[in-house]
């Protein structure tokens, strides 16, 4: 395996795993919160919030990357604040790739978790509340455990999406080998070099493998959630 992949390929693979892991872990708490709000609350800005959540799915990824560069670049309104007060620079850093991956994966993550919350019987939550449980207790003892397979499925899909993100990543953090070059941008680089088709094919094979594993795991979790719902009927 070590002979099959060049050192630069290993760097791209490891960086992709690191980027996708950070993107998933950082966005999961926000995804659970937003998904619960969309599933359980009704308010005037509900459709606007839902539209904003799903906007990265509609916008060209390059446009999303450009917006991230405008906002989180070193001279952007958020980027300048982070750099001045915390010394954090996201543009053209691997952490910026994680941010881009999180933004692009967020809609898939939220959608899966929202469907899981919508499948939870509100009567169970109401019953827990009548027994004296507070909102946070109801959420952590009833809602979240019942929706857990959907939460995990959303996290898996978000991880896979973040790992495969290209357009927003290359726009926001460029394609610097060993620093910001992820698996998709490594494939792009290999295809741009004469004779790089073999290397690109190897990297594509790895991408397909991870994507299929993510899809299979997500489907297994979705079936578990469906079986749990049928068991309560």
pLDDT tens per residue across span 154-181: 999 999 999 999 999 999 999 998 899 9
Q: Is the dihedral of CA 142, 143, 147, 152 positive or negative?
A: negative
Q: Mean pLDDT over residues 148-158, rounded?
A: 90
Write out the two tokens for 122: 């509100």
Residue 182 has pLDDT above 70, yes or no: yes
Residue 125 has pLDDT above 80, yes or no: yes
Report the distance separating Cα 149 and Cα 145, nearest Å. 8
pLDDT of residue 78: 94
Give 229 or 174, the one with higher predicted confidence.
174
pLDDT of residue 204: 92
pLDDT of residue 194: 87
Report the distance separating Cα 109 and Cα 231, nearest Å. 25
Q: Mean pLDDT over residues 184-209, rounded?
A: 90
- Give the DSSP H/E element, type plus range, for residue 184: helix 183-192
pLDDT tens per residue across span 19-52: 999 999 999 999 999 999 999 998 999 999 999 9
pLDDT of residue 218: 79
Residue 118 has pLDDT above 70, yes or no: yes
CA distances from 194 to 166, 198, 199 (A): 21, 10, 11
Provide the residue ranges of all domains of the chain, joining segments of one domain with +: 7-231
Residue 207 has pLDDT above 80, yes or no: yes
Burial (CB < 10 A; 0-12, 13-18, 19+), residue 1, is exposed
Work out the pLDDT band at 1, boundaries 50, 70, 90: very low
pLDDT tens per residue across span 61-106: 999 999 999 999 988 999 999 999 999 999 999 999 999 999 999 9
b/e per residue 210-227 (b: at least 16 CB within 10 A): beeebeebbeebbeebee
Write out the two tokens for 158: 């978000």
Task: Tell me which fold the domain 7-231 belongs to.
Answer: MetI-like fold (1.10.3720)
Residue 228 has pLDDT above 70, yes or no: no
Mean pLDDT over the full length of the chain: 90
Q: Where are the beta strands (DSSP E) in the chain?
A: none
pLDDT of residue 144: 92
């Amino acid at each position: 395996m070590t002979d099959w992949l060049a050192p630069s390929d290993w760097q791209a693979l490891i960086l992709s795993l690191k980027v996708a892991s950070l993107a998933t872990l950082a966005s999961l708490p926000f995804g659970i919160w937003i998904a619960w709000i969309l599933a359980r609350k009704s308010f005037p800005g509900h459709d606007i919030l839902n539209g904003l959540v799903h906007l990265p799915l509609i916008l060209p990824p390059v446009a999303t990357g450009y917006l991230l560069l405008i906002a989180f670049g070193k001279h952007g309104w958020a980027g300048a604040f982070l750099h001045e007060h915390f010394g954090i620079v996201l543009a053209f850093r691997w952490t910026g790739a994680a941010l881009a991956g999180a933004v692009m994966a967020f809609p898939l993550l939220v959608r899966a978790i929202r469907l899981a919350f919508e499948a939870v019987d509100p009567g169970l939550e109401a019953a827990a509340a009548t027994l004296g449980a507070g909102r946070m207790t109801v959420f952590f003892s009833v809602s979240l455990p019942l929706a857990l397979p959907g939460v995990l499925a959303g996290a898996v899909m978000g991880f896979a999406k973040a790992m495969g993100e290209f357009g927003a990543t290359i726009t926001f953090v460029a394609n610097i080998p060993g620093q910001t070059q992820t698996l998709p941008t490594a494939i792009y680089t290999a295809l741009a070099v004469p004779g790089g088709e073999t290397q690109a094919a190897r990297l594509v094979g790895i991408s397909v493998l991870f994507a299929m594993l993510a899809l299979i795991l997500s489907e297994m979790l979705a079936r578990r959630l469906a079986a749990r719902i049928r068991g309560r009927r």
